[in-house]
Amino acid sequence: MYYRFVFLGFIILCLNLKASAQIIVNEFQPIPTGDEPEWVELYNPSDQIITLNKWYLHDTRTVVSMPAVSFPPQGYIIITGDSLSLIATKVIPVNVPIIEIKLPTLNNTTDAIVLRRSDSTMMDSVYYSTKWGIRGISYERKYEDKPAISALNLFPSQSPDSSTIGYQNSISPRSIDIAVSSFVYIRSSRTLIATARNVGKSRLQSANLSIYTDKNENSLFDTDELIEQKTISYLAPGDSVLLSITMDQLYSLINIYGNIRCLAKSTTENDQRHSNDSLLQNAYISFPVGSVLINEFMFDPISGFSEFVELFNTANTNISLSGFRLHDRPTSSGADTFHIDKLNISPSGYGVIAWDSSFFKQFPLLFGASNVYCKKTTLNLNSDADAIVLRDGNGLVIDSMVYSSKWHDHSLGITKGVSLEKINPTLPSGAPTSWTSCGNRAIGATPALLNSISHEIGSGSISASPNPFSPQSLNKQQTVISFKLDERNAVVSAIIYNLNGAIVRTLLNAQYTSSEGAVVWNGRDDNDNLLPPGAYILVLEAINTTTSQVRQQKLLLIIG
């Protein structure tokens, strides 16, 4: 109870001090690290020499007497219990006196530092809490003419040396000083925003705020890397100015996708502090939607083996998937997400994401492959139907789909352990016609390899490959029918007739599709019976979703 009243009285006395004390407690280190001792820095803000004769320094428990010393105008004095250790650990100007006395032990929670004259008149005091600071970083007083009894006027040093012992405080206002107060990257809007603020005491006649990129990857932020600049006139103390650039604008200037380091820099004539002139920020320029496409996935593996998703790079440049994430269909509790830390896919190359090391039991040749990324995750794909969504570092959906187990080839009796493969990597992932069961029956999947059923999209408006084909052969068991439409979007039906005009198989029934698509035919009818060799007619009918215009195309298919 006694100390509570002592602290209360101390705070009341602090609030009744004159606004400008002759000598102030300017900086101190209560929690040093390493061999650095505790220390207190005093400062004479006046224009006169002040002699300290029989002055006292104390905390809430211990009082120590200081030797007589003359204090020069705008000068500093350092008080410590171990001057040799202090000199060995800190760089202190040679003209700054160091007084070695048995300094009161400063508490590592809360404490006070009080300076009194010989007549016990309180000249200055500070009260601190370690919650306001950082271990190993000194406390600096920001305003010399204001009480330092709260976090409103005591701050951790911003000096690279963790203190400014014997020098002007790093946080004290200068007469002319412009600072980059913030430099942020807003992922939702994919925008870089830099803010420059006049933190000095004087009005600025002119200043510049600039944004640079490190496109040369040399960390120099050269003149040729300047991408945006704004000139400010007549900026009053405390006023700010903003400068922003979107990632689309940034790409148009540097023609680079992916992570990019940026620098915001402020300049003004006769700036008295340069440590706050610039800030670094990482930004992310999204690759175009569809630059990475889902190409194969295993959603119902054999027990003991792993699910996986294979991706295909459609771009003509290497794509880093660092920061990408893969997730399934969101539920009320959210979506299960797989965060990709590091995976590079070369142009027209494959990348595989697996979430259990058992993947390598099934595919041992891929162990250690640079284009395979494996780690434990909560993501699990449903065995009947689910979503697969690929988002980049900005959260932008690069590719997505909602699959169904019904996409498997109906002629397969067992689909467990068989992946779904895309007929051609460039086909839309969300279209059921783009997919069919893996044709490699021995292992059931082809991760990081050309899909077993992969076919080039025909150059004509409608084509089939191979044609003829034989369901009973080893390498031509099915044909891939690809089509290109004049319509951007259409409702498509694809029906196969025998030469007598009877319908034998409906491949597509009023299926909504884009201008390009493909579908697989395995030579079976709608009842899954193998059809006899011979000629069959495919009729493809497309209804334009905008104009309702109907177009019909025919193709002769041969079962050998």
Residue 90 lies in a domain: yes
Same domain, 340 and 389: yes
| Structure letter (DSSP) for residue 288 | P
Same domain, 441 and 482: no
Residue 191 lies in a domain: yes
Answer whether 349's CB lies under 8 Å from 331's CB. Answer: no
| d(C-alpha 29, C-alpha 37), whole Å | 8
**What are the C-alpha distances in Å from 3 to residues 7, 105, 113, 122, 313?**
6, 17, 15, 18, 70
| d(C-alpha 507, C-alpha 557), whole Å | 14
| Preceding amide of 466 cis, omega within 30 | yes
The residue range of the domain holding 224 is: 178-285
Phi first, then psi: what are they for 4, rounded to 5°? -65, -40
Residue 12: strand, helix, or coil: helix
Residue 162 lies in a domain: no
Per-residue H/E/C for 210-255: EEEECCCCCCCCCHHHEEEEEEEEEECCCCEEEEEEEHHHHHHHHC
Q: What is the dihedral of CA 413, 416, 421, 423, to 10 degrees?
A: 10
> Which residues is 244 bridged to in the sheet?
193
Residue 240 lies in a domain: yes
Same domain, 393 and 474: no
Same domain, 469 and 559: yes
| d(C-alpha 257, C-alpha 317), whole Å | 9
Residue 170 lies in a domain: no
| d(C-alpha 247, C-alpha 190), whole Å | 6
Same domain, 240 and 382: no
| d(C-alpha 264, C-alpha 99), whole Å | 42
Answer whether 421's CB lies under 8 Å from 446's CB. Answer: yes
Global pTM reads: 0.70
**What are the C-alpha distances in Å from 348 to residues 311, 419, 430, 448?**
10, 21, 20, 11
Of 454, 469, 502, the position where a domain reaches its end is: 454
Same domain, 326 and 209: no
| Structure letter (DSSP) for residue 533 | S
Closest by Cα among 388, 325, 377, 352 to 187: 325
Q: What is the dihedral of CA 519, 520, 526, 532, to 10 degrees?
A: 140
Element (H, E) at 387: strand 385-391
Answer whether 91's CB lies under 8 Å from 78's CB. Answer: no
Answer whether 352's CB lies under 8 Å from 448's CB. Answer: yes
| Structure letter (DSSP) for residue 282 | E
* Cα angle 221-345-253, degrees, rounded to a multiple of 5: 30
Same domain, 134 and 20: yes
Same domain, 117 and 216: no
pLDDT (tens, 9 = 90+) of the chain, 560 residues, equals 434 434 444 444 444 444 345 899 999 999 999 999 999 999 999 999 999 998 999 999 999 999 999 999 999 999 999 999 999 999 999 999 999 999 999 999 999 999 999 999 999 999 999 999 999 999 999 999 999 999 999 999 999 999 999 999 999 999 999 999 999 999 999 999 999 999 999 999 999 999 999 999 999 999 999 999 999 899 999 999 999 999 999 999 999 999 999 999 999 999 999 989 999 999 999 999 889 999 999 999 999 999 999 999 998 899 999 999 999 998 877 788 999 999 999 999 999 999 999 999 999 999 999 999 999 998 999 999 999 999 999 999 999 999 999 999 877 889 999 999 998 898 889 888 789 899 888 899 999 999 988 877 655 588 888 888 888 776 677 888 888 887 777 888 889 998 888 899 998 888 877 777 888 888 889 998 989 988 888 898 888 877 788 888 888 888 87
Of 269, 285, 301, the position where a domain reaches its end is: 285
